[in-house]
């Protein structure tokens, strides 16, 4: 089959899946006012793959069928391959200003990561390696959109974990397994073709909670419950929310059957401890690229608004712009370092340096609130008071806007548009969700820092310190 068109994608998600929003069952996620915008955005991405202008950028020839397939599934063998992957992600991320964290190429990165560690999966059960290889081919050849969730629903930690219905394996059958329970923060779930279950290592995780599998979103017993929509009712100035509210959900598995060939891993704590650590660098690379693109947009807003206001020569604004530019270039430097210091995995693929990728992501998340504050400061009261499209559409209001707020300022209308964009990033509910997403994406910021602190190779640093302190290592 190879790459799908947008219409083929939209037809695929009109499958009778159980999606609930505001207490009501959604008949068609592609037509619901709160969901249709993002569904169309994804369809547009699928159509881009068929545009000759972007074919080489977004697609490659399948190694098995010879069809054109998404470049998301490339197994990098060279630095050029890594950079080609980055260029694809950058192109798609810039279309949404870095606000879409779960475009299909993100989960494709995780599937590539799973495929890369299939030999480790085979240590538990040889069939798992075959299963993930077959699933990788299925995803690549059918151009599927996937969702997943690492998080469990927040609960009172004083109550024993086993008393809650977290997602777990409840039954073994000759032809598969049965799973039951709930997972939280499944981003893109209403728009995905399939759900991929992964279990991050965390304290107290029971063996029956360690299960990796994939099922279609219309699987019997699978129900999706959406958070409240951030899409405004017919407000044209909310461009980001209208098109890019990718939706976060909790997903209930009510005794869901998973065929044996769709099970990738289960109940092997001794192997599980380090497994995601080998998979996630592929995803973290994607996150860092996307956050760099978001940083570019935020810096661009500040630079352009300052120029429109004729304030680009004011020292305090120049200092803030310098901080913005430093943030952008630091993230770019981490990406360059990650690629230049790449590693080759046991399976023979090139992976961006996990330490550089993780440090880059830590830096991006730590400084993101500060960058948003600079946006708010540099835009001033205009971020709140800029008139919108509806004002200009009403002749009575437009006259006053043009007379008192625009006057001889030929850049005023464009400045208003930029200020509305800044509002979505830094002030409204869409922007608040974006900040929360970056803080907790693929694990909390604290967890990411802790894992790096535990895994970082500090031996050369300690050796240098001992040498300068005159400590003789030969005595043990």
* Res. 119: pLDDT tops 70: yes
Residues ≥6 apart with Cβ < 8 Å to 431: 372, 423, 424, 425
Mean pLDDT value across the chain? 93
Task: Look at residue 271 in the predicted model and tell me its pLDDT.
Answer: 62
| Structure confidence at residue 392 as a pLDDT band (50, 70, 90) | confident
| Structure confidence at residue 150 as a pLDDT band (50, 70, 90) | confident
Task: Look at residue 118 in the predicted model and tell me its pLDDT.
Answer: 93
The answer to whether position 229 is within a domain reads: yes
Angle, alpha carbons 357-361-365 (nearest 5°): 175
- Angle of the 104-116 helix axis to the 79-95 helix axis, nearest 10: 150
For 77, other C-beta atoms within 10 Å of its C-beta total 12
262 lies in the same domain as 317: no
| Structure confidence at residue 405 as a pLDDT band (50, 70, 90) | confident
86 lies in the same domain as 185: yes
The answer to whether position 422 is within a domain reads: yes
The answer to whether position 342 is within a domain reads: yes
| Structure confidence at residue 28 as a pLDDT band (50, 70, 90) | very high
Task: Look at residue 250 in the predicted model and tell me its pLDDT.
Answer: 96
Task: Look at residue 445 in the predicted model and tell me its pLDDT.
Answer: 78
Task: Look at residue 184 in the predicted model and tell me its pLDDT.
Answer: 93
% of the chain exceeding 70 in pLDDT: 98
* Res. 430: pLDDT tops 70: yes
CB 170 within 8 A of CB 180: yes
Task: Give the C-alpha separation, 71 to 88, whole Å.
Answer: 8
177 lies in the same domain as 298: no
Task: Look at residue 152 in the predicted model and tell me its pLDDT.
Answer: 85
Q: Number of folded domains in the chain?
A: 2
Average pLDDT over residues 100-112: 96
| Structure confidence at residue 164 as a pLDDT band (50, 70, 90) | confident
Lowest mean pLDDT segment, chosen from 157-171, 248-262, 328-342 = 157-171
The answer to whether position 469 is within a domain reads: no
Of the residues 247, 272, 297, the one at which a domain ends: 272
The answer to whether position 473 is within a domain reads: no
58 lies in the same domain as 112: yes
Of the residues 219, 241, 272, the one at which a domain ends: 272
85 lies in the same domain as 209: yes
For 178, other C-beta atoms within 10 Å of its C-beta total 15
Task: Give the C-alpha separation, 398 to 109, whole Å.
Answer: 48
* Res. 202: pLDDT tops 90: no
Task: Give the C-alpha separation, 216 to 251, whole Å.
Answer: 13
* Res. 428: pLDDT tops 90: yes
* Res. 163: pLDDT tops 70: yes
In the DSSP assignment, the letter for residue 401 is I
151 lies in the same domain as 236: yes
110 lies in the same domain as 238: yes
210 lies in the same domain as 326: no
Residues ≥6 apart with Cβ < 8 Å to 309: 415
**Rounded to whole angstroms, what are the CA distances from 227 to 85, 190, 222, 252, 356?**
32, 11, 17, 14, 34
54 lies in the same domain as 138: yes
CB 442 within 8 A of CB 277: no
| Structure confidence at residue 258 as a pLDDT band (50, 70, 90) | very high
The answer to whether position 474 is within a domain reads: no
Average pLDDT over residues 458-463: 93
pLDDT digits (tens, 9 = 90+) for 274-297: 777 788 899 999 999 999 999 999
Question: Which domain covers residue 240, as residue numbers?
Answer: 6-272
Considering only residues 370 and 408, tell me which one the structure prediction assigns the higher pLDDT: 370
266 lies in the same domain as 288: no
% of the chain exceeding 90 in pLDDT: 77
The CATH number given to whatever domain includes residue 178 is 2.40.110.10
* Res. 55: pLDDT tops 60: yes
* Res. 476: pLDDT tops 60: no
84 lies in the same domain as 164: yes
Q: Are strands 222-226 and 18-21 parallel, antiparallel or unpaired?
A: parallel
* Res. 475: pLDDT tops 80: no
Task: Give the C-alpha separation, 23 to 10, whole Å.
Answer: 23
Average pLDDT over residues 292-321: 95
Task: Give the C-alpha separation, 54 to 129, whole Å.
Answer: 33
The answer to whether position 438 is within a domain reads: yes
The answer to whether position 322 is within a domain reads: yes
* Res. 272: pLDDT tops 80: no
335 lies in the same domain as 221: no
| Structure confidence at residue 270 as a pLDDT band (50, 70, 90) | low
pLDDT digits (tens, 9 = 90+) for 70-93: 999 999 999 999 999 999 999 999
The CATH number given to whatever domain includes residue 441 is 1.20.140.10
Of the residues 237, 254, 272, the one at which a domain ends: 272
Task: Give the C-alpha separation, 137 to 135, whole Å.
Answer: 5
Task: Look at residue 275 in the predicted model and tell me its pLDDT.
Answer: 76
Average pLDDT over residues 43-64: 97
Considering only residues 237 and 354, tell me which one the structure prediction assigns the higher pLDDT: 354
Task: Look at residue 268 in the predicted model and tell me its pLDDT.
Answer: 64
């Amino acid at each position: 089959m190879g790459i799908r068109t947008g219409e083929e994608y939209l037809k695929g998600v009109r499958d009778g899946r159980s999606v609930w929003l505001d207490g009501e069952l959604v008949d068609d996620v592609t037509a619901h006012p709160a969901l249709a915008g993002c569904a169309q955005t994804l369809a547009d991405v699928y159509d881009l793959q068929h545009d000759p202008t972007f074919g080489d950028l977004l697609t490659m020839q399948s190694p098995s069928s010879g069809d054109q397939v998404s470049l998301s599934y490339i197994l990098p063998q060279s630095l050029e391959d890594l950079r080609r992957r980055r260029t694809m992600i950058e192109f798609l991320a810039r279309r949404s200003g870095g606000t879409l964290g779960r475009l299909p190429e993100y989960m494709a990165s995780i599937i590539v990561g799973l495929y890369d560690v299939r030999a480790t999966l085979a240590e538990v059960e040889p069939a798992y390696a075959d299963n993930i290889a077959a699933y990788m081919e299925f995803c690549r050849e059918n151009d599927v959109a996937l969702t997943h969730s690492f998080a469990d629903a927040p609960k009172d930690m004083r109550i024993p974990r086993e008393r809650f219905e977290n997602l777990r394996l409840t039954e073994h059958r000759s032809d598969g397994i049965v799973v039951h329970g709930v997972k939280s923060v499944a981003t893109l779930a209403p728009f995905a073709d399939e759900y991929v279950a992964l279990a991050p290592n965390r304290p107290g995780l029971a063996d029956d909670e360690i299960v990796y599998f994939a099922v279609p979103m219309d699987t019997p017993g699978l129900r999706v419950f959406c958070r409240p929509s951030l899409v405004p009712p017919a407000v044209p100035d909310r461009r980001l929310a209208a098109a890019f509210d990718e939706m976060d959900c909790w997903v209930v598995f009510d005794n869901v059957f998973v065929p044996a060939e769709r099970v990738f891993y289960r109940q092997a704590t001794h192997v599980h401890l380090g497994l995601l650590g080998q998979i996630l660098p592929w995803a973290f690379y994607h996150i860092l690229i996307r956050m760099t693109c978001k940083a570019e947009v935020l810096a661009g807003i500040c630079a352009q608004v300052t120029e429109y206001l004729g304030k680009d020569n004011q020292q305090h604004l120049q200092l803030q712009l310098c901080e913005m530019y430093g943030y952008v270039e630091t993230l770019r430097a981490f990406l360059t370092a990650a690629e230049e210091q790449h590693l080759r995995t046991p399976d023979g693929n090139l992976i961006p340096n996990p330490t550089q990728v993780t440090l880059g992501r830590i830096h991006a998340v730590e400084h993101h609130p500060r960058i948003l504050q600079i946006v708010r400061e540099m835009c001033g009261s205009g971020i709140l008071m800029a008139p919108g499209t509806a004002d200009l559409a009403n002749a009575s209001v437009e006259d006053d806007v043009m007379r008192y707020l625009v006057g001889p300022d030929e850049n005023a209308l464009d400045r208003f548009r930029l200020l509305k964009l800044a509002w979505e990033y830094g002030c409204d509910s869409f922007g608040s969700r974006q900040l929360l997403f970056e803080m907790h994406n693929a694990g909390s910021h604290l967890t990411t820092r802790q894992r790096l602190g535990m895994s970082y190779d500090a031996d050369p640093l300690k050796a240098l310190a001992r040498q300068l302190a005159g400590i003789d290592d030969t005595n043990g």
